[in-house]
Amino acid sequence: GAVVSQHPSWVICKSGTSVKIECRSLDFQATTMFWYRQFPKQSLMLMATSNEGSKATYEQGVEKDKFLINHASLTLSTLTVTSAHPEDSSFYICSAQTGLGQPQHFGDGTRLSIL
């Protein structure tokens, strides 16, 4: 149980392109979903928290106009990296949670490379 699917797993695109990443909870309803970014050999960095039907809460320093998050249903959240540049290249990981105090279940991550 508690399977989270994330697509695509790998994206290479040109600078200036917008990229959408999907995160789905397959066998449970997620009250809250999270988006993380991780650079090589560094810690997970929380970018934003999203609840179904409401605006995402972004962490300090994360540009909400650049990283658009939509949480349309209890099983789907999307992250769109708008006008991506090489410095946005990273490993993006989503997670989903069923409620307060519950564990987060992670997707397999999306490796984004901007040329």
For another protein, the binding residues (CB under 8 A) are 2, 31-32, 34, 43-44, 46, 49, 51, 91, 93, 97, 100-109
In the complex with another protein, the residue whose CB is nearer, 47 or 84, is 47
d(CA 48, CA 37): 10
Least distance to another protein, CB of residue 50, Å: 10
- The CA dihedral of 6, 22, 82, 62, to the nearest 10 degrees, is -70
In the complex with another protein, the residue whose CB is nearer, 78 or 110, is 110
Q: Assess contact for 73 and 64: CB atoms under 8 A.
A: no
Least distance to another protein, CB of residue 96, Å: 11
Least distance to another protein, CB of residue 83, Å: 26
d(CA 7, CA 12): 13
Q: Position 67: which residue type?
A: F
Least distance to another protein, CB of residue 14, Å: 24
In the complex with another protein, the residue whose CB is nearer, 70 or 104, is 104
Q: Assess contact for 8 and 110: CB atoms under 8 A.
A: yes
